[in-house]
Amino acid sequence: MPTLLGIHGSVTRLGRLHQALESALAAAAAHDPSITTELLHLGDHQISFADGRPPEAYGDDTQKVLEQVTAADMYLIATPIFRASFTGALKNLLDHIPVEGMMGKACGLISMGATDHHYLTVDTQLRPVLAWFGAHLVPGQVYLQSQHFQDGKLADPKAIAGLETLGKAVTALHKSLAGNDDSAGPPPLAAA
């Protein structure tokens, strides 16, 4: 069974963004019962600063987390926007992953910021990093703000629909890429 891994790219306590990621994962699983879903919250693990050592050289959760990420077949990545960028914790995780770990895999993006001013952060900063891997990104993203939630629960119908669509789109993109090397395009330059 293919695995869809939800990566909650924050070390802060679980909250609204985590709930949104769970919603997108549930929509994907409901749409395609042949997949399994997993959720990785970076705050639940001790991941060393990426300094070039092999994963087994770290004495914490780094190797286990990297194995989980690279074993996944597709991703939903959620990040809060801090200081007009995606989180350092997520960047550190991505710095550990070898190019082959995400190459050719489908990926959808969810972000949450305080204002509309940051909605392009994912497109201008996270997409290029994932393009380096040769990941295949679902066009568009889901961008959330506090106003989409009431009493801590996601309440905005458009946001809910967007998460459902994103979850379905990642599984559909994965299926279109599976077993068809030509549709994935050439490998990224980083793999050369």
Q: Where residue 76 falls among pLDDT bands split at 50, 70, 90?
A: very high
Q: Where residue 181 falls among pLDDT bands split at 50, 70, 90?
A: low
pLDDT of residue 13: 86
- Does the pLDDT value for residue 184 go beyond 80? no
Domains contained in the chain, number:
1
Q: For position 158, which CATH number holds?
A: 3.40.50.360
The answer to whether 171 touches 139, Cβ cutoff 8 Å, is no
Q: Which domain holds residue 51?
A: 3-191
Q: Which residue has the higher pLDDT, 185 or 50?
A: 50
The answer to whether 74 touches 170, Cβ cutoff 8 Å, is yes
